[in-house]
Amino acid sequence: MKKLNLFFKENIFAYTLLLPSFIFLTLFTFYPTLKSLQLSFYSGPMTRLEFSGLDQYKEVFTDEIFAKVMVNNLLFMIGTVPTSIFLAMYLAIWLNKRMKGSALLRTSFFYPTVIPLIAVANIWLFIYTPQYGLLDKFLQMFGTSGPNWLGDPGFVMVAMIIMIIWKDAGFFMIFYLAGLQNLPRDVYEAAVMEGASPWQMFRHVTFPLLMPTTLFVMIVAITNSFKNVDHLYIMTKGGPDNASNLLLYHIYEVAFTNWDLGKAAVLTVILIVVMLSITAFNYLYLDRKIHY
């Protein structure tokens, strides 16, 4: 008992500082999560929900739209995460060198990050507009024209992926710049003395030492691939034929267009499980293989 009292006396100040954050986490994270889990076992209109057990889960897992949305989200994640990370790493290594205009270039590449996604969607909506858009105007200079980028199911996901890479790469670049500037210089000096080529130094020195940064950036990028859906409301609304629909936007449609709170709660639980599984895999498995 004395040890317990001593523990609280020594840590009471820290717990006091953490209390406001814990209250906000409880109100806006823990409680909504538990409420969604509870609602997932109910069905019917919002005014008279009835307990349905696992029926809602069976309905969701046999839904063709849900299957298509999950495939879309997987493709979206595969398309955006690796490309954004490697592009950000390349830009950081390039801009980490001392050269004229590096500050201006860093600002230019980071600038898309500070633009709200709604504004980015409007910018790229103009770029992708058939015939009159910036992309088609550029292609017309070579005597050709592009497809209906946002109206063709075969091209719409590619168009979304390119836009998100453009927005996220500069944000991730800042983390890599910070990581590069904290790497030990003596390791590079030893590599130069041993006659290592630039590629060998990147492969055997820079890349392994940047793995902690890469893990963090990868988790953020994967999270973004599941939560960046504002652009869908402006550009495609999940179309055509759900070709660009993603899980979070599907939840929004089910909850606030169809007013099916039970099904939306099931989809929310699935999203939470997916995100927790990815995060757990990264921290519990990949984190152990990283050199700090």
Residues 260/148, Cβ–Cβ less than 8 Å: no
What pLDDT digit, counting tens, does each position of 3-44 carry? 666 666 677 877 888 888 989 999 988 898 888 888 888 887
Q: Which has more confidence, 271 or 288?
A: 271
Q: Which has more confidence, 190 or 75?
A: 75
For the chain, the average pLDDT equals: 86
Model confidence at 292, pLDDT cuts 50, 70, 90, reads low
Residues 247/69, Cβ–Cβ less than 8 Å: yes
Short-list 170, 162, 165, 160, CA closest to 113: 170
Residues 162 and 235: their CA atoms lie apart, in Å, by: 14
Helices first, then strands: H and E counts in the chain: 15, 2
Model confidence at 184, pLDDT cuts 50, 70, 90, reads confident
